[in-house]
Structure 1
């Protein structure tokens, strides 16, 4: 955490110290003269510092004169207060608390003329000034307050005018870079050259977007944790040899502009320059995001047409995709990722309309009407995570985020030759399981693990014309996989087996009736005995009625299992002799394993 003020070294009255820079309580960096610099003006040549030497770096932005008893109600932060002590002439005991009161109101220093109304300042007052780092100054008797006011205020205004002039000049130079088609790197180069320090632009994840300066300085900035940690930075911060300015636009935090000078060579005007650079960087970043959003939508629209089978013949699709850097002229698999927590698990088809069930009725998702900005942000982060990971595994893959799902088309098994090498000009097949795991890890890292997604994987498609069917396979794998395994499921279409057929039943009530009619009392989950007998029945069917193997798996005595089989046949019928009944029982148990029906 940055201290409330940045204190200077103990300057003498002839050593005003460096230009002053202070982080004010309002969170903005303020410009003015340090107390040390004020003591260096000609009208204060005979002034003497008697206390609070550690506070010489305090900022003076204005001056005031104390000649009334209730001055505390009128003072303001960063003031140099001048007094003859007239209001305190009859109450010297008030001097003991005056320093603490002034320091509490953020004043820069107190200048006192002695001799006319006060003969001296009590030692306790000086001790308190030293403890608080609040400068106490004895003013020369032969200098009028108006002379001090005029000269110090003139110097302050000149300093601020010079800062504004230089900042405006830099701003115009940066704007010209943007108007000339320059990017973030050119802006950083310009600022680095103006300040003669290393400068870097970083995104919200502390990844360097552009950097200028010695490599070792850039590495230092990358490794530097900073005073803000992971919290959002909404104001400039000067921390040692680093100066950090946030890049904010439209209420969003786009990252940081950081200047680094290992010799503490940062000056007060550097803050304004970096603030202008941050403004220009925000303009560039939002412009890039707008262009990327348009391009992303164009790509997504075309991919949607491909998956809906309306993008044209294979040759035209391949040619169009080449312009996007996609390679669909090879064996590929379609992966569909959907956020968990939706009512139906159905994210809408590639044509943007709700997917339909077997009878053609829309499988509407009632949560669509209530999706807010938070849900859209999570969906965008899911798409970003998948895009990042897919690009690592297959730079020629197609990936796009739709309204409620992310679709990726990546190289699949079949692209490699007999020896496992990719075909000439082709890409090596992707390890789909590793890709899904990595996408989950990246998404969890950026979203704190608060949401999960399920993934469906299609069979291999050997041509663009087969992508429509592959997409539907992946969608089916998502829905059935989530029903079988719950949130975070990863399912391949070929591994669904009979569950593919069960999922085609559009009316869940019909499946519930089938389970109750087939299993009777064994369908209940609130009776431990029913659950136990159902487990026995399941293992019996899995072992093809092999009593010895079933007893071994369940750790039952042979006679105990024979007794249980008799009890099950009394409840369900002669399933050991009736193959059709065994099929019905097997299907009913499969339905019970499916979730979300």
Structure 2
């Protein structure tokens, strides 16, 4: 309760403010009587002290010392019964009280100090009780909005209506998560000021205000905490004064409900993330019985199995080897959550997974080109910059070749890990390493499956026999013959057959193909076709 409000209660209506009238906005938490001259060590902030000044009647300097000490300790004010032991307050004391905006109140003679204390405390307690009732009702309103599924944006709209100011909810990475009644320029200003101008080592009940000169706008910032950690800031586009208890309490109740709602959202996201990661891990470990099962499970996570993908694998550059495993994993989880949030808000289609110390990003695209790789490089560079800024650590990425569909992601994952490892072996940090194709199999993977099948069919067209077993024997003989650089004796040795048998089989192969195995272009095509057969399990 403010001094100005306290003086409106019936028992204090006949009081006069004889000094420090500009300080009547001071808050009164309690009222006490001065019954001894050594009161100064026992003074408390926001305390209204009342006295007959009996102990000070012959010591005017002591009264000056008392006023200065009370002002220094942020006491609410001093009430004195004049015309009893002290006829008037010394001019020096009045002058000092005016300078300090410290109220000195002349109390009525007809009321006892005990009555004044009792009535004042009763008024203060009544106000506190009313505030508590208001707080409980407000908290109930906000909680009902969340319980009814209206969400945080609706809660912020309601809070904005109650306090009369627009509101922006900014997360711990200074990213707006809800921004009713605000514009991009205002958000940019707030983000810059939060990032550059303030150090948020705030207690859970602390808030502060700041003003911007160019638009003459004042902003008030309330921290939001979840599980003891700072989630972000509830930013009010207006000035909230500490003396405005009801408004402050309203905002604090909203902040508390938002905190619980965010913790609930975080728990749900963790569960969803765990289920998604389990699916991807099982997929990499070939734990599913069929492609149909993989397709059905992938649909749950909005993954289109027939789309082409590029796999990106990231890992933190571990520079501090003294960090415990639990702390390191906690840091990794936090950074991976940050990456996921960044990608979630982007317009591009990227699926996020994590596996131990690795994060896996599946970029969904239609075709591979230099522009695609430039875009991926720019995206990863931006993520690296943000992680370095927010977490003071670095992360590196390995990038796979283009994969024709989701079923080939396992190979792409191996490629991306290989590229990541190559960069680490050169002792680089914050790098982006692209996988380089090592053999013809990797080249073939970059070609659409339909085209591979067409090439295989065209090359080996006519190579069919009535006996499937005989067909397989002929293909095997031709394969070994080409691998041994067309050496008949070596082919016979490897197949454990007579060389005449090899010659017979090769002649039959040429009859079926209608081509000579001595032609270099023909043998090259057959070699490639046989690799395609192995790759596609034809």
TM-score by length of 2: 0.71
Query: Do residues 237 (structure 1) and 207 (structure 2) align?
Result: yes
In 2, the alpha carbon distance for the partners of 1:452 and 1:496 equals: 29
The 3-state SS of whatever aligns with 1:190 is helix
Give the distance between the partners of 1:95 and 1:394, measured in 2 at CA: 70
Q: Which residue of 2 aligns with 1:411?
A: 364
The CA distance in 2 between the partners of 1:263 and 1:487, in whole Å, is 46
Q: How many residues align?
A: 429
Report deviation, 1:83.
1.2
Distance across 1 between alignment mates of 2:323 and 2:98: 65
Q: Deviations over 1:534-578 (max 9, x none)?
A: xxxxxxxxxxxxxxxxxxxxxxxxxxxxxxxxxxxxxxxxxxxxx
CA distance in 1, matches of 2:436, 2:368: 19
- Any residues of structure 2 matched to 1:539-558 within 5 Å, and which? none
Aligned partners of 1:79 and 1:107 also within 8 Å: yes
Q: Does residue 331 of structure 1 match 2:300?
A: no
Identify the match of residue 96 of structure 1 among 57, 64, 67: 64
Moved over 6 A (4+): 262-266
For the 8 Å contact 1:177–1:183, the answer to whether it is kept is yes
Give the number of the structure whose residues are more often helix, by fraction.
2
Structure 2 distance, partners of 1:263, 1:382, is 34
For structure 2, which runs of at least 5 residues remain unmatched after alignment? Answer: 211-217, 440-538
What is aligned with 2:451? none
SS at match of 2:119: helix
Mapping for residues 12-31 of structure 1, pairs under 5 Å: none
**1:393 to 1:86, Cα distance in 2 relative to 1, 3 A:** closer
1:538 corresponding residue in structure 2? none
Contact (CA 8 Å) 2:176, 2:187: kept in 1 or not? no
| Cα deviation digits, residues 317-347 of structure 1 (max 9, x gap) | 334323312234233222211112279xxxx
1:371 lines up with 2:325 in the alignment: yes
| CA distance in 1 between partners of 2:137 and 2:246 (Å) | 12
Larger Rg: 2
1:458 aligns with 2:412: no
Q: In structure 1, the residue corresponding to 2:303 is in which secondary structure?
A: coil
Structure-2 change in CA distance of 1:415 and 1:323 (3 Å): farther
Q: What is the deviation of 1:447?
A: 1.3
Taking structure 1 as reference, are residues 483 and 443 closer, same or farther at Cα in structure 2, changes over 3 Å only?
A: same
Cα distance in 1 for residues equivalent to 2:48 and 2:322? 61
Deviations, residues 85-119 of structure 1 (Å, cap 9, x unaligned): 11112333322311112223331101112222223
SS in 2 for 1:140: coil
Report the more deviating stretch, 162-171 or 33-42: 33-42
- Superposed CA offset, 1:182-216 (max 9, x none): 3112222332333344334332233332344x446
8 Å CA contact 2:242–2:248 kept in 1: the answer is no
Q: Tell me, yes or no, if structure 1 residue 77 matches structure 2 residue 54.
A: no
2:13 to 40, 45, 52: 45
Partner of 2:189 in structure 1?
A: 223
8 Å Cα contact 1:64/1:75 also seen in 2: no
Q: CA deviation at 1:222?
A: 6.6
- Aligned partner of 2:337 in structure 1 is 384
TM-score by length of 1: 0.65
SS of the counterpart of 2:402?
coil
SS state at 1:272 partner:
helix
Residue 118 of structure 1 pairs with residue 63 of structure 2: no
Q: Quick one: distance in 2 between partners of 1:429 and 1:290?
A: 35
Aligned match of 2:385 in 431, 441, 444? 441
Q: 1:165 to 1:45 in 2, by over 3 A?
A: same
